[in-house]
Amino acid sequence: MKRFILVIIMMISTLGVYSFKMNAIDAKKTSYASYYHDKFNGRKTASGEIFDNAKFTAANRTLPFGTNIKVTNLNNGKEVIVKINDRGPYHSSRALDMSKAAFDEIGDTDRGTIPVEYEIVD
């Protein structure tokens, strides 16, 4: 009987940790975004794709390649959906490096960074 109760407790604990991790992945996150310089056009990204500043793509340190995320500019509420195809940014205060086209869709390229909220979309 003790063994049965122990197994039940372990199963509940495992499911609890699993559901917590899944909710943490799907949560909205707030940070800053910047955009790629034109000199990166035509270079390979970490995913192997050729970078194009005219496409709606972005870099993130942890999200899987091919993940689509909705990025919202917290200053004006504008939104854009981008696909993760690269790693970076390597500056601790930013979570996203966006293509120039995607950044321009929600912000002003005269500014180097904007505060954003981002979440995974299906």
What is the rounded average pLDDT for all residues in the chain? Answer: 88
Question: Angle at CA 62, nearest 5°, toward 92 and 107?
Answer: 60
* Residue 107 contacts residue 54 (beta carbons within 8 Å): no
The reported pLDDT for the residue numbered 26 is 62
The pLDDT of 107-113, averaged and rounded, is: 91
Q: What is the DSSP letter of 40?
A: G
Going by their DSSP bridges, the two strands 29-35 and 57-59 should be labelled as unpaired
The pLDDT of 10-37, averaged and rounded, is: 71
pLDDT band for 17, please (50, 70, 90 cuts): very low
The reported pLDDT for the residue numbered 15 is 57
Write down the residue that tokens 């940014």 correspond to.
Answer: 89
Fold of the 28-120 domain = Barwin-like endoglucanases (2.40.40)
Tokens of 20: 């917590």
Give pLDDT tens digits for 64-80.
999 999 999 999 999 99
pLDDT band for 14, please (50, 70, 90 cuts): low
Q: Minimal CA–CA distance to 56: which of 95, 104, 90, 94?
A: 104
Taking the C-alpha atoms of residue 82 and residue 59, their distance in angstroms, rounded to an integer, is 9
